[in-house]
Amino acid sequence: MTQREDDPARVWLEIISIDERSKRALAISHDPEQLAELQKFRGRLETSIAELTADLGDENVAPLYSWLDLARQRLTLQAGIERARAAVIQARAQRVPDGSSAPATDKEAAEQLARAQGQVDQWKTATPPQPPPQVLAVWTAKGGDSLVAQMPHDAMAVGKKGDEARRMLARAAGREPGKHPWARSRLELTLIPVVGVAAVLFAGFAASLSKDSEGTSRALAALATSSAVALAALIACSVIARRHEREEVAAALDWVWHARMYDERTRLAELEAGWLRALVDAHRAFERFASKAGTGGQLRDFETWRPDLVAMMQEVARDTGDSDEAAAGTEAS
């Protein structure tokens, strides 16, 4: 306060900074003795501020208040740009392991936003329809989320296998994949033993007949041969049915993984595009602020008026604007 006659504007800035810090200290303090001391200090400080403001006069204080407010606005806009850039980096890293960079200029941000929106549209177009419940049931039965680590992660390969899987499962529409109607059916479990026993019996009877019954023996042998052929055909059907079951199970997993992976890629692409859009908006807001005479123009005039106070004004604006920036960051999140 003893320096206010030499440079009252500098003293005013120092007191405003002290005032803001003491307010924050008062808000977070829980010690009764400390609170009492802070309240006494703030009482003296408020008196000093009132005296200094009266000494300076409104015509000198008003420009300083305006300068400080504009400096806070500029810092808030710059902080918005940095928050958006950090969010772009974070979102990009989730989609691309080495995607740890963000556009440095508004032009780069606009170009990358256009590309990101194109990628979102491509992923949406390529994302397959959601699998039906019976297909999802196979995924769950085979391990669910634990399968993710062993599934392929090349997008083109996953897409190709998923498309082939949906075409294959079109044959199994209306039933759960891997549940072939022949395999383990009552008909299979009955026919194979019956035909097998019949083939053995016919062959045995044909071998036991004498030469006098040669005609009957030939007929029984023919029946035994037919039964053996039928048995082989039934066993082949069972083998093929079980192979189809394995193929259908694999196709069900491919379909579910295709849908899940592409849906996740779409979501990540949308997240990145959203933060790029926020970054473009933040750059544009800063440009509007800087280009207007009443904001950026006036701030430049103040800095030309007192270049010796620019660094101190920025420091005070940063110090007294912390709470506002924190609130803005919370809202953006």
Phi, psi values for residue 321, rounded to 5°: -100, 5
Does residue 52 or residue 277 have the better pLDDT?
A: 277
Does residue 257 or residue 172 have the better pLDDT?
A: 257
Region 148-175: mean pLDDT is 89
DSSP string across 125-180: HHPPPPPPHHHHHHHHHTTGGGGGGGS---HHHHHHHHHHHHHHHGGGTTS-TT--
- How much of the chain, in percent, has pLDDT values that exceed 90? 46
Nearest to 92 by CA among 309, 295, 281, 272: 272
- 330: pLDDT confidence band, cut at 50, 70 and 90? very low
Q: Which amino acid is at 322?
A: D
- 283: pLDDT confidence band, cut at 50, 70 and 90? very high
d(CA 64, CA 10): 10
Q: Which amino acid is at 277?
A: R
DSSP string across 89-121: HHHHHHHSTT-----SSHHHHHHHHHHHHHHHH
pLDDT tens across 200-213, in order?
A: 888 888 777 655 56
DSSP secondary structure code for residue 213 in this structure: G
pLDDT at 251: 94
CA 60 to chain centre: 52
Q: What is the pTM of this model?
A: 0.71
Task: Look over the chain and give the mean of its residue pLDDT values, rounded to a whole number.
Answer: 86
Comparing 37-46, 84-93, 284-293, the range with the smallest average pLDDT is: 37-46
333 pLDDT more than 80: no
Nearest to 63 by CA among 331, 298, 314: 298
1 pLDDT more than 60: no
Q: Which two tokens stand for residue 284?
A: 């544009």
3-class state of residue 296 by DSSP: helix
pLDDT at 139: 94
Comparing 181-190, 207-216, 248-257, the range with the smallest average pLDDT is: 207-216
- 328: pLDDT confidence band, cut at 50, 70 and 90? very low
d(CA 90, CA 96): 10
Helix ranges (H only) for the chain are 8-28, 32-56, 58-95, 106-126, 133-141, 155-169, 186-208, 214-291, 298-305, 310-320, 322-332
pLDDT at 263: 95
d(CA 82, CA 76): 10
Q: Where in the chain are the domains?
A: 8-116+276-332, 124-269
pLDDT tens across 80-112, in order?
A: 999 999 999 999 888 876 656 889 899 999 999
